[in-house]
Amino acid sequence: MGKIIGVDLGTTNSCVAVIDGGDPLVLPNSEGARTTPSMVGFTDENEKFVGQQAKRQAMINPEETIYDIKRLIGHKYNSDQVRRYAETLPFTVVEATNGDAWVEVGGQSFSPQEISSLILRKMKQTAEDYFGEEITEAVITVPAYFNDAQRSATKDAGKIAGLTVRRIINEPTAAALAYGFEHTDDANLVVFDLGGGTFDISIVQLRGGVFEVASTAGDNHLGGEDFDRAVLDFLLARFEDETGIDVGEDNMALQRLKEAAENAKCELSTSSETNINLPFLAVDDSGPRHLSLDLSRSQLNDLVYELVERLDAPCNQAIEDAGIAKSDIDDILLVGGMTRMPLVQERVEEIFGRKPHKGVNPDEVVAKGAAIQSGILGGEVQEVILLDITPFSLGIRVTGDRFSPIISKNTPVPTLETKVFTTTEDNQDLVTVTVLQGEDEIASNNKLLGMFNLTNISPAPAGKPRIEVTFEIDTDGIVDVSAKDLTTDATQSITVEGHSGLSNEELQRAIKRSQESEMATA
């Protein structure tokens, strides 16, 4: 059996690991780095660069350098969050024919799945270079709070990259696996995962080789990129105050400011003050204008304080849902590059009343956990059982635009639940089953996953027919829904897998385009 790789497909950086000699091993890429920037650069000759090379060209070609694609995958263009976010990007985000958010580069449109597949292909190539053999299978991690559409889209990205995705695993769960691989004692573990684009908090119970996720919560729109944006906005305002020049529409200047903001944020994790120096940022009648200032850690803390405050609610929700007291927590595992920020670490200690564990590399622990899961699937890792959960409630719309949950959030997966409904009109021969995901009592406020009609219902007065609706979730969090008239045995179903927005035709076209691109660069 060939190697199954574990991939942390991150918003800012990605990482690939495998089980080698019984232990998880992070693999260095072709540049010798253990993590790879999740960036894809294009040229006028339609060449594509992934990783560090793309990051280098971002300064001079920001309109054709794609980053943060994870924040667009599985999303519709017309959502307020996507449209507001798209306004901050130097590259173009467009609405596809199916309503999804795609990116446009050099006159061509690409789905987020295609862009993500290029990053995954880089991870695949890294492993193939290391082992000298073809890699065709992977375990890929996603934020715990990714919904069904985002999970399905991630699986499609794997297919386009030439990978069979054996399992989608939640990032905090992967981190817990990596931690528990080296700690055999029973424990209640908090996995605090603040990465480049998302925030997840999970409570995981370790009991004799069994990893059971008790609860999860999070914020899919809170991450290191938001912290960078807070610093960037400060620099934009400072430069305009000093020079009267607004460079907010100058993509090259914005990219320089973005990189300076990110570097300053990182430096202030270990220093109390840093200097930001950007010569020739703009030119006016008086000549070239420069930006130079000192930024202190306390200033940074003031700029991002409201973002740090947003960490509290998901943490408290996860504790409440797990049904444990904060005093029952044995350890807190920090995951994601943003957890290096002292203010974030202080907030974690305030929330949970204890210092977090710092014994793992926050940039690599998720990939290691994915590798351990791949080892479980491949038979290389024994005596480890993983019990994950669904992060959202799943149900259907009923009369009055009410949401009727069938599977509650934090239910262990895989799972199957059934609920019986009826008709609202006399002699009704058809019902529309609208499948939803979310927590709001109002159905239309939750995320639509799909819908189908159950026909040939036996004529009867309203309230007499018995219609059995069954929800099933597999280990990847992919949903199957069926409805059955218990009188006539008429049945209809929908598999929500593939609800990534790509039709089968679009998926096959993307796979073909990826293969042609690979042959052209071979």
Element (H, E) at 70: none
3 state SS of 497 = coil
Q: What is the DSSP string of 204-248?
A: EEEETTEEEEEEEEEETT-SHHHHHHHHHHHHHHHHHHHHS---T
Question: Among 171, 200, 225, 331, which one carries the catalytic annotation?
Answer: 171
CA separation for the pair 101, 487 (Å, rounded): 43
Give Cβ neighbours of residue 492 (< 8 Å, ≥ 6 apart).
433, 452, 453, 454, 455, 482, 483
Catalytic residue among 3, 55, 70, 484: 70
Strands 479-485, 491-495: pairing kind: antiparallel
Beta strands in 61-186 (DSSP E): 65-66, 92-95, 101-105, 108-110, 137-142, 164-170
The residue behind tokens 């990939």 is: 367
Closest CA to 161 of 182, 140, 190: 140
Beta-bridge partners for 276:
293
Amino acid at 388: D
Of 171, 209, 211, 210, the C-alpha closest to 193 is 171
Q: Is 171 a catalytic residue?
A: yes
The answer to whether the beta carbons of residues 172 and 191 sit under 8 Å apart is yes
Which residue in the list 64, 114, 156, 193 is annotated as catalytic?
193
Nearest to 181 by CA among 379, 412, 370: 370
Give the angle 26-30-33 at the CA atoms, nearest 5°.
Answer: 50
Among 475, 415, 404, residue whose Cα is nearest residue 442: 404
CB neighbours of 77 closer than 8 A, spacing ≥ 6? 83, 86, 93, 94, 95, 96, 99, 100, 101, 102
Catalytic one of 3, 8, 262, 476: 8
Q: Tell me whether residue 383 is one of the annotated catalytic residues.
A: no
> Which residue's structure tokens are 């009609």?
453
193 among known catalytic residues: yes
Helix, strand, or coil (residue 447): strand
Rounded-to-integer distance, Cα 440 and Cα 14, Å: 33
Contact call for residues 384 and 369 (beta carbons, < 8 A)? no
Our answer to whether residue 185 is catalytic in this structure is no
| Residue 397 one-letter amino acid | R
Distance CA 420, CA 465 (A): 10
What amino acid positions are annotated as catalytic residues? 8, 70, 171, 193
